[in-house]
Structure 1
Amino acid sequence: MWTSEGQPLAVVSKSPSSKRAIPNNVKLVVLPGFGNNSNDYFLPEAPQGSLVRSLQNRGWRDDQIRVLPMERLDWLQVFVNGLFDLRFWTSNMAATCPSFRWYLKCVAGEIAEICEESSDTKVVLVCHSAGGWLARAALGYFSQAQADEQDVPRIELERVLGMVTLGAPHIPPPPEVMDMTRGALRITNEDFPGAYHIDDGLFYITVVGNAIAGIKDQRRSPFERTTPTGLAFNSYEAVCGAGTSMGDGLIPRMSAHLDDAIQINLDGVFHSINAPDKWYGSDSLLDRWHDTMLEQIYSSRNMSVRTPNRDFGNVVSR
């Protein structure tokens, strides 16, 4: 497997192999993607696709998994806050502008709350879709002590072990393609390129599905339903300008990886919970990135206490 720049991937798909115990002093914070709410990651109607349950099946306790509180209507703030913001209309809006600032504040607040509960607790961010680049923005902007950020808790990077991004669009589209983030992703990349905080001890794992190639629909009628390959084409074209790319059905593979990150391509894995048996949080597929996350947690230089919950090798997925 190779990156779009022709460089070999650091990690490719592999079979489940980890026998690591779950560390007792680590908490996972799940960051929802654009349009998702918190319940999408519990998914009681399709438990085989529940990210939270899949993690619990591997030994993570209930109190070790936090899903960022989110309602679908919260995402309207992106457009409502941008309505009278010239930077929104000119696609020159940083992620700290009102359209996305509310999300970054939620991330910073959640990390701060966890850190206040215990002095030795560490945090790993598990980020779905847009949650991935927004997590990078939150860590970048709110780990800095700035006078104009007094309304936001400062993120202590030494308390964050790293992040896993699942189908996140990390690379902005080319200039000729309208930026759906209105410049926020581009500016985040300019300010905090690649695995920016790797020298601070954070690990970065970027994961993307390699499931479907985009094919433009040849419509005979405007009332014809969009095919899955047609939907992929439209989405890939909006994200990277190349509709015929390969990806997870919404995010093209070429946009989902960061330089210096551990990069994982997952054959047959889709972006959305609409495919509960074949998405990133599916119980049958989770080990394909979860093993790597555990290895990185244990090898992190920021990891201090390593008390296990129970032997991962004895956990049976349900």
Structure 2
Amino acid sequence: MLPTVILPGYLESAIAYLPLQQALQQLGFPTSTVPLRRRDWLSTLGGRPITPILQQLDRTVKQALEQSDTGQINLIGHSAGGWISRIYLGEKPYLGRKELESQAFCHAYPNIANLITLGTPHISQERWTRWNLDFVNNNYPGAFYPSVRYICVAGKTVFGSRISTKWLAYSSYQQTCGVGNTWGDGITPIVAAHLEGAENLVIENVFHSPRSPGLWYGSPTILPSWVSYLS
């Protein structure tokens, strides 16, 4: 079984993914989570570069490779962690606005066997995230690298509506894909969570976050829906 690395979602810490990490370990996958704390995201707010997250991801991936003789890993990106992972795979140096050339790096795709994205908004209409998402989608559209298996998992749980109980979903979907009246996981609409050329899955009754009161992508009863795609 290949080593597996989990990259948390935006403003989330590694501790929220400990149950998923432990579940994958019990299935035989040596699994680690990028050791992010919530405050590690603060420097990326307002559309600023996500270089600090890429650096921690790179360190975690290299540690996983050093501890294994496989030469490749599985990479799981939740929410924003999915599109950040796509930047990490890329050959073109990632340079956030006003960053120096010396800070740029990536080119990890030879080391990634499978990229699984969970509830990732691969597109956005929101101005603070457009720069980064335009970078990845313009440079690496769809399931870009043939050597990498892309698996994109979406949730079909909440239909966005202007009524009060569905307003958060409606607003989030609208900011993401431009349409509020659509299905998604309460945060990411299905249409944004899939990539052309990927193996695109839809799972019903899963919510976006590991902190959601109900089931989420990493819940024990949901895990069998996508874990078989890991090597």
Question: TM-score by structure 2 length?
Answer: 0.89
1:269 alignment partner in structure 2: 206
Question: Per-residue displacement from partner, 1:109-152 (whole Å, max 9, x unpaired)?
Answer: 222232233443421101100000000011114689xxx76556
For 1:156 and 1:138, the matched residues in 2 are separated by 6
For 2:158 and 2:106, the matched residues in 1 are separated by 40
Question: Per-residue displacement from partner, 1:205-246 (whole Å, max 9, x unpaired)?
Answer: 0001011101113xxxxxxxx52x111111111111111110
1:136 alignment partner in structure 2: 86
2:90–2:109 Cα contact (<8 Å) kept? no
Higher-Rg member (1/2): 1
Is 1:122 aligned to residue 72 of structure 2?
A: yes
Question: Per-residue displacement from partner, 1:54-80 (whole Å, max 9, x unpaired)?
Answer: 2234233xxx1110010111111113x
Is 1:169 aligned to residue 121 of structure 2?
A: yes
1:122–1:160 Cα contact (<8 Å) kept? yes
2:10–2:41 Cα contact (<8 Å) kept? yes
Is 1:101 aligned to residue 73 of structure 2?
A: no
2:12 alignment partner in structure 1: 36
Is 1:56 aligned to residue 34 of structure 2?
A: no
For 1:159 and 1:149, the matched residues in 2 are separated by 23
Question: Per-residue displacement from partner, 1:154-192 (whole Å, max 9, x unpaired)?
Answer: 54433210200000001233xxxx323141101210011
Relative to structure 2, which stretch is displaced further, 270-279 or 236-245?
A: 270-279
1:142–1:152 Cα contact (<8 Å) kept? no
1:213–1:247 Cα contact (<8 Å) kept? yes
Question: TM-score by structure 1 length?
Answer: 0.66
**Aligned AA (2:170):** F
2:156–2:204 Cα contact (<8 Å) kept? yes
Deviant stretches of 4+, over 4 Å: 141-144, 148-156
Q: 1:284: Cα distance to partner?
A: 0.9
Percent identical = 33
**Aligned AA (2:58):** A
1:109–1:152 Cα contact (<8 Å) kept? no
Q: How does 1:171-250 map to 2 (within 5 A)?
A: 171-173=123-125, 178-198=126-146, 201-217=147-163, 227=165, 229-250=166-187
Sort the Cα spacing of 1:261 and 1:143 in 2 relative to 1 into closer, same or farther, 3 A.
Answer: farther
For 1:113 and 1:55, the matched residues in 2 are separated by 18
- CA RMSD, 1 decimal: 2.2
For 2:206 and 2:36, the matched residues in 1 are separated by 24
Q: Secondary structure at the match of 1:134?
A: helix
For 1:154 and 1:119, the matched residues in 2 are separated by 21
Question: Per-residue displacement from partner, 1:19-62 (whole Å, max 9, x unpaired)?
Answer: xxxx2xx11100000011000101xxxxxxx21232234233xx
